[in-house]
Structures are given as structure tokens and as C-alpha cells.
Amino acid sequence: MFEFGPILRTLWRNKIGASLIILQSALTLAIVANATFVLQQRLQLINQPTGIDEQHLFTIDVKPLGQGLFSVGEIQRDTLELRQITGVVDASYISDKPLSGSYSQSNRNAQDDDTTFTISLNQLTTDPHGLHTLGVALEQGRFFNDSDMVRDLKEGKVVVISRGVADAAFGEGVNPIGQQITTFGLPPTGKHKQALKDSQLFTVVGVAADANITSVASVNDGVIFLPFYQPDKSVTYLIRCQPSQCNQLMLAVPQKLKQLDNHRIITGVSTVMSNKDELLRADHTMVVMMMAAIVLVSSITGLGVIGLTLIWVNRRRWQIGVRRALGATRMGIVRYFLMENLLVTSIGLCFGVILTLGLNQLLVEYYQMQALPLSYLLLGMACVWLLGLSAAFVPALRTTTISPAVATRSI
Amino acid sequence: MFGYYLQLAWRSIKKTPVMSALMVLALGVGVAIVMTMLTLQHVESNNALAAKNEQLFYLQLNSSPADELFFGSLENGMPRMVSYRTATTLLKSSIPSHSVAMFRSMFVLSMDDADYQPGSIVGRVSSRDFFSLFDVPFIYGKVWNKQADESAKYQVVIDQTLNQQLFGGGNSVGKTLRLEGKPYQVIGVVHDFMPVPSVQDLTMGKTGGNTHLYLPFGLVRAEQLTPYGQKSCAASDANQDVELGMSANEAFEVELQNLCIWLQFWAELPNADAKARYVDYLQQYFNEQKKLGFFARDFDYALSTPQQWLNLNHVVSNDTKVTTWLALVFLVICIVNTVALLTAKLWRQAPEAGIRQALGASRGAIFVQNLVEAGFVGILGGAFGILLSQVMLMVVRSILANNGAALLGTDSSIYSTDSTMLAVTVLVALISSVLAGLYPAWQVSRTQPAHYLKVQ
């Protein structure tokens, strides 16, 4: 019933046409499978929740006009006033703008009695309202209170760490509350005890839920919160607004700050979402590029198959007529062409698997991409199969219009 | 004969309009996409210092502490920048014809004019050789003198754009602007130096190194200037700690003498001999400092030409490279597709070729005629591709413009095809068309005329 014999013999007579389609479907698979994989990875990164209330946050920079550092009194007054504005859920002082990709990071090799491990974390300095403003939950213990806050880190006594840092520093399941830790996330245990004897140690008073605060993807173990007003020439405030109040507040907050003290410049009012978009711009571009690649490759290959099948059908009108005259049904002829297409595409896919894996290998080796999972290869194969079949379907249907009389007419 | 062949080709294309359009479309889209990607890559990797590529060198020293690498070290294992202590020593060497130590710093800019709205501005704090090393010509005035690199002189050099913005253009030498409230005198106006990528300083992204304002290096200590951008320190650096009870000046002095890296360093070495002597000098300096306990590792260095520095910093993103490779594979698909369709189409015309051959046309003539037809399709596809690539680059430009590229200082107008790219475009189009036409033309010319005469 599947006329493999005649199909193969016909293809053999038309080696070039067939091998071109084989090559084309192989290359198509290579692109479709790899592009889909890259696309999926980027979408995952873009849609991954960060764990902070990113939709309702914005930041604002304040700089004094003259020289000198920002005073703690000024910061406390500003944040207190900001919290009074209607529509503001909370406001706080923060050292780094969330999701801006700008942060202070430390990577330290820690040595246990026999193992070496790396703790890498972001240091974020903020005030007692910081965690609530970000919208990150407190899992254990407490966050800072006013008496914890210092101007000089050397006077600091307590820190709050995120769950990831707690697990990395003390081990999973160990209660971190009350433990000692350095600002680099190192616990004074094992061999460290000696090495860190002169380092300043802080007591962990709270554990925050894991969240990507400074960067979109988690690039490290987590965050260590320091109760510290950095002596600086400028200051950044983070404001969390009630739903749909952000737009109005982005105008009201600068006004309020100007009103409190006019002798300073207020710049950089930006939503955390706009920071996030900026950070993910390359990924958004890549998503568009990959989608375009998939659509273009599919349409070119699809149109190519349609065109070629059309020509083949036309060239074999006489052959089809003869077959019809000898009793072949219309559906039999259609099936013949579809089978032929399926066979050619399948051979192409066999080569395509090699090409796809080869291309992926190059991407992994030279461009730090990840290895292609098998599921994407199978998905890609199914897509190319379907593409070939549906493209061949239209011209194949045309054969039904060829009447058996063609066989008698042509000779 | 050629005219006649063209006529035949045109007639044949008109006979199968859909099929022909499909071939032109496929080839055109393939060429356009490859062109767009190559242009993007070409622009992203532009070396603005190409003219002095053999003389300019970016310096890296193996200054990481023994047990860790400085954050952001490059793949050659060395940190991206040097410390203030190293930079000030190296500036004293007379081996390079010019050397520059520099960093970006942020200032509040105001004017005595009360109407001027104060704002923040990024300035480049640099030693005076900046302008001669990077060939930035002065329009008015001149660079600050040597003393200004060592002690505080409240002078600035501004570029044309800032001059226009602050003073409405013209010779502004002698005029005053205020940074952090202090008056600074303009002593020179230079042409804008805004290369993309900003090869002179790649620490803050593709264009982050470009500034409109330049300040003398001597201000660092007096004004306690700190970098607006990257600064990496080592926890194990014994020189780092600021003691309790230190005055602000003493504390800053510690910052200037520790291992922290935050300055970019360029040297102009006119010939191989100078370079060899400079390396000797670096080694001597390094080993001396290692003896003092400042450096922990063994001497190693990198002197990268601007091109090497661009490559080392991966100015062309992996995303762009991957997309370019995919685009090339896509072009291959388009060519294969066109070859397949052309083969089929010309094959269908084989009876005509048979008749022509029977009437005395040589195989060569048939081959040329079919090649002309194939080439015709190819050239149409190529032309369409060039057109389409211009449209695509226009879209890229408008996307960049809408994305607030101005905010980042990215000039979206740079994404246009230059003459090199146009030449490559034409070449790609031509090669694809010949490739697409060669095989089918040859195949048809080999047909036996008798076969077709019989069928007819």
C-alpha cells in the first residue's frame, strides 16, 4: 500500500531535486531546533519572577547642590515625609537600585575543615523599612529597627541575610539566627576561625526570602542586608506605591522632596520595571530575532517544498494519468505524493539531527550557550515533518484534477 | 546574443510569475538578513583608533592578590584596570611618547547664570596626554599644563557639544562653569570624541566611556574624586583598611595607596624597541613593588592594541555572533531553495533547449543562456536583498531610537551601511546568484535533444 519501491526509484532518477530538499530540511531542522531552544531560554529569563514587588516600585536620586555628604537626619526626614504621602505603601533608603544591574558583589573562597566553597553575594545597605518596601517576605527572626542603623559600618552589630546565603554559609537546616558572619558571608568556623579573628563579625538577626533584587537572574547565593547609611554625596530612595498610584507619585514625590529642601537636585525618577526592561533589552531583542528566524526559515522552506512539488506534479502528469487509467484512486495518488515528501523529509531529518547537534556544539563551545535537550530536537523534527507534509499537501491535491484521459492524449 | 538571452530570461520569468517571485523573494530575504547582521557586527566592532592601532597599547598588570582574582578580570587572567598608586608611578616614565591614566567621575554642574538648571554630568579625569594620544584636536585654547596633572588646578576642557549647550558655541576659553559648586575655568574646547564602541574606556559598556567634559588629573587628591563606574578592591589587601578616627583626608590617602583598581591606562609606544624597553621598565617596577609586598603574584602584563582590547572586551555580543551564524545558515537554506526551484524550472524548459540544440545551438550557448536566466533571477534577488536590508536597518534604527538610546548616549544613526558593507552586499548577492544558477544551467545544457524531439 505504501509504494516505497516506485517512490524510491522515482527519487533516484531525480537525485538532484530530492537531495536539495533533503539538504534544505536538514538545515531547517538545525535552525528551528536551536532557535526554539534559545527562544525558550530567553523567555524563561524574562518571565521569571524576581520575588520583589517590581510592578509597584520606583526609585529617585537626590544630590545636594553644594559639597559635603548627605546627613542621616536628612535621610530620615525625607523617608518619614515620603511615607506620609497618600498612595505610598512604604519608602526607604537603599544603596542600589533594584534590577538595575548595578550592585556591589563579593566572591569569597571559604575554607571549611577540609572543603573549599565559594560564597558570592550582593551587599545591600538599607534602613528598617527596606525589606517591606521591596516586598520581600521575612522568613525568620526580625528585620532592622532604628537602633540598629549606623553611619559607620564598623559600629554595626547586626545583619539580615537571605535564605540562600544562610544555606551557603551555615548549611541547610542549620538555624542561622544568632550566628556570626562577616559582610562577605563567611562564618567564623573551621579554619576560618583563625583567619577571621580580626575581621568584623555581625550577628544574624533575620532571614529574608530568596529574591533577585539587584539583578534579574540569580547570579549568586543571595543578599546580605546591612543596616547602614553610607556616607555619600547622593542618596537613592525606593518608593513602593499602591496599585495604579505610581504614575501620580512619580510626580508628587519629587515635588515633596523639593519642598523639603530646595537646595538639591532631584534626578533619575525611574520605575523598577523600566530598569528591568533595560537589563533585559538584549534578551527581548534575541526573542524577536529567534522568532523571526523560525518564521522565515519555515516559510522559505515551506514555499520551496510547495514550488518543487508543484513542478514534480506537473512533470508527472502523464505518469499520473497512466496510473489513474490503470485503476489508481485519487486518494492513492495524493498519498503517493505525500509519502514521497515524507520519505524525502525523513532522510533530511536524519542528516538534520547531525547538523543540529553540530551547530549546537559550536554554540556551546564558542558562545557559552547551553546544550540542546533531546526534547527540542524531537519537537523540531515534528515541526519540520509537519511543515513538509502540509506544504506538499496543496500541490498533491492538484493531482486529483488530472483525469485518466491525459494518458491517452499525450502520446 | 546577451541581449537576446536576457529577453528570453525575462519571457521565461513572466511565464511563471509566482515561481519566479518566490525565487527572488527567497534569495532577497536571505541576502538582506545576512547583510543586516554583518552590518550590526561591523558597527559593534568598529575600531575608532584603527589609524594608530600599532602604536597605542592598553595596559593590564597581574595585580590580583594571591588568593583571588579581582572581580571582572578578563579572560587573559588580568584585571581590567590599575590602581592609583601604579598609575601615578607609570605616568612618570618617559619611554612612551604619551601615556594616559584616567577614569570617569560624576559631578553636579551648575552655572553662575541663575536660569541654568543644575544637573549631573559625567566627566573624564585624565592626565594631559589624553588629547594627543587619542588625536582629539583643539578648536580653541589648549590642554592644561603639566603641573595641573600633579597639583589642583581648577581648569576644564569641554567639547563642542557641551560648549554649544553651556555657552552657545564660540571661543569660550576663560569662561567659568561650576562643578560641585566650585568655579572651574574653561581652558580649551575640543572636537567631540564619541567613538562607538568607546574603545578608550570599555569598563562601562559600549558607549559609557564617552564624555563631554575633561578634568586635569591633579584634582583627584584635592577634590577626593572617586570613579563613577567600576572599582574593585581585594579583601585581603593589607593596605586597604581605613582606621577608625582617621580624618577624611587621611582616609582618602589610604584609598589612593591601596591595591583597589579603578583607572584605565594607555601608552603610546611608537616602535618595537620602545615597547621592549617599556616591558623591561614594567617588570622592574612590578618586581620592586612585589618586594615591598604591594603585588602578590609573579610579573605578568598585557599591552593590547585597540583592536585586541576591543576583542578582549567582547564588544560584539555573543547574541550578535550567534544570530549572524544563524543568518548565514539561513542564507544557505535560501540558496539551496533557489537552486532547487531553478533546477526544476529550467528542467521544465529542457524541451525548448532541446529544440534550440537541434537547430544548431552549441552546448556552450545553451549553458550560457540558462546561466543568464539563473543569474538574472540572482541579480534581481540580490537587488531586492540590498533594498530589504536598508529597510531592516531603518527598523533597527527606529527601534533603538524608541528604546531611549539617546539616554545611554548611543547614536542610533551609526547603524547604517557603509561602503565596505555595500561591497560585501554586492559580493554576497553575486556569489549566491552564480551559485544558484551554475548547476541547473550546466545540467540542462547536457540534455539530449533527441529525447525531447521524440516526445514532441
Are A286 and B33 in contact (CB < 8 Å)?
Answer: no
Measure in Å the smallest separation between the Cα of A387 and chain B Cα atoms: 15
Are B29 and A108 in contact (CB < 8 Å)?
Answer: no
Q: Compute the radius of gyration of chain B from its Cα atoms.
A: 31
The list of chain A residues with pLDDT below 50 reads 411
Residue B33: closest C-alpha in chain A: A293
d(CA A366, CA B75): 13
Are B235 and A308 in contact (CB < 8 Å)?
Answer: no
Distance of CA B89 to the CA centre of its chain: 31
Are A65 and B348 in contact (CB < 8 Å)?
Answer: no
**What is the domain extent for residue A191?**
67-262
Terminal Cα distance for chain B, rounded: 27
B308 & B398 share domain = no
Q: What pLDDT was estimated at residue A277?
A: 87
Residue B407 has pLDDT above 50, yes or no: no
**What is the domain extent for residue B19?**
2-45+316-455
Q: What pLDDT was estimated at residue B432?
A: 67
Parallel, antiparallel or unpaired: strands B98-110 and B155-159: unpaired
B212 & B347 share domain = no
Contacts of B235 in chain A (CB under 8 A): 106, 108, 184
Are A311 and B322 in contact (CB < 8 Å)?
Answer: no
B238-243 contacts, C-beta under 8 A, 24 or more apart: B238/B293, B239/B294
pLDDT tens figures, B176-230 = 999 988 999 999 999 999 888 899 999 887 778 899 999 999 999 998 898 888 8
pLDDT tens figures, B254-282 = 888 888 899 999 999 999 999 999 999 99
Q: What pLDDT was estimated at residue A117?
A: 65
B123 & B248 share domain = yes
Interface contact A200, partner B, CB < 8 A: no
B248 & B151 share domain = yes
A377 assigned to some structural domain: yes
Are A17 and B344 in contact (CB < 8 Å)?
Answer: yes
B322 & B266 share domain = no
Q: Phi first, then psi: give them for residue B198, nearest 5 degrees.
A: -75, 80
Which A residues, 282 through 301, put their C-beta within 8 Å of a C-beta on chain B?
282, 285-286, 289, 293, 296-297, 300-301
In 3D space, the residue among B58, B55, B48 whose CA is nearest the CA of residue B97 turns out to be: B55
Residue ending a domain, among A262, A296, A331, is: A262
d(CA B193, CA B191): 6
Residue A63: closest C-alpha in chain B: B108
Interface contact A62, partner B, CB < 8 A: no
Provide the residue type at B125 as one letter: V
A290 & A254 share domain = no
Close Cβ partners of A14 (under 8 Å, ≥ 6 residues apart): A312
B13 & B57 share domain = no
Residue A294: closest C-alpha in chain B: B330
Q: What pLDDT was estimated at residue B410?
A: 44
d(CA A277, CA B326): 25
The beta-carbon neighbor of A265 closest among B119, B345, B439 is B119
Q: Phi first, then psi: give them for residue A241, nearest 5 degrees.
A: -110, 160
Interface contact A391, partner B, CB < 8 A: no
A131 & A161 share domain = yes
Contacts of A63 in chain B (CB under 8 A): 108, 120
A208 assigned to some structural domain: yes
B402 φ/ψ sector (left φ>0, alpha ψ -120 to 50, else beta):
alpha
Residue B72: closest C-alpha in chain A: A105
Residue ending a domain, among B256, B290, B312, is: B312
Are A286 and B118 in contact (CB < 8 Å)?
Answer: no
Q: What is the mean pLDDT of chain B?
A: 84
Close Cβ partners of A144 (under 8 Å, ≥ 6 residues apart): A126, A127, A128, A130, A158, A160, A205, A225, A227
CB contact burial A383-395 (16+ within 10 A = b; e otherwise): bbbebbeebbbeb
As a whole-number percent, the residues of chain B with pLDDT over 90 amount to 37
A332 & A399 share domain = yes
Parallel, antiparallel or unpaired: strands B176-179 and B56-61: unpaired
In 3D space, the residue among B237, B236, B193, B238 whose CA is nearest the CA of residue B102 turns out to be: B193
A236 & A315 share domain = no
A271, three cell numbers: 520605575
A405 assigned to some structural domain: yes
B325 & B387 share domain = yes
Residue with more model confidence, B328 or B55: B55
A94 & A215 share domain = yes
Measure in Å the smallest separation between the Cα of A137 and chain B Cα atoms: 30
Total tally of structural domains belonging to chain A: 2
B74 & B6 share domain = no
Are A31 and B336 in contact (CB < 8 Å)?
Answer: no
Lowest average pLDDT, out of A164-178, B159-173, B416-430, goes to B416-430
As a whole-number percent, the residues of chain B with pLDDT over 70 amount to 89
B404 φ/ψ sector (left φ>0, alpha ψ -120 to 50, else beta):
left
Are residues B368 and B4 in contact, defined by beta-carbon separation less than 8 angstroms? no
d(CA A157, CA A177): 13
Average pLDDT over every residue of B431-446? 74
Provide the residue type at A58 as one letter: F
B125 & B245 share domain = yes
Are residues B173 and B186 in contact, defined by beta-carbon separation less than 8 angstroms? yes
Are A106 and B235 in contact (CB < 8 Å)?
Answer: yes
Close Cβ partners of B266 (under 8 Å, ≥ 6 residues apart): B56, B57, B58, B59, B99, B100, B102, B133, B200
Q: What pLDDT was estimated at residue A29?
A: 93
In 3D space, the residue among B456, A173, A162 whose CA is nearest the CA of residue A181 turns out to be: A162
**Res. B6 pLDDT band, cuts 50 70 90:** confident
In 3D space, the residue among A38, A31, A143, A134 whose CA is nearest the CA of residue A91 turns out to be: A134
Q: Phi first, then psi: give them for residue A166, nearest 5 degrees.
A: -60, -45
B356 & B403 share domain = yes
**Res. B405 pLDDT band, cuts 50 70 90:** very low
Residue ending a domain, among B290, B312, B334, is: B312
Are residues A304 and B337 in contact, defined by beta-carbon separation less than 8 angstroms? yes
The beta-carbon neighbor of B339 closest among A20, A27, A312 is A20
A202 & A296 share domain = no
Other CB atoms closer than 10 Å to residue B147's CB: what's the count?
A: 12
A232 assigned to some structural domain: yes
Are residues B34 and B331 in contact, defined by beta-carbon separation less than 8 angstroms? yes
Q: What pLDDT was estimated at residue A195?
A: 56
Residue with more model confidence, B414 or A304: A304
Close Cβ partners of B151 (under 8 Å, ≥ 6 residues apart): B218, B222
Residue A295: closest C-alpha in chain B: B330
Whether ipTM tops 0.85, in short, is no
Lowest average pLDDT, out of B45-59, B153-167, B372-386, goes to B372-386
The beta-carbon neighbor of A307 closest among B332, B336, B341 is B341
A52 assigned to some structural domain: no
Total tally of structural domains belonging to chain B: 2
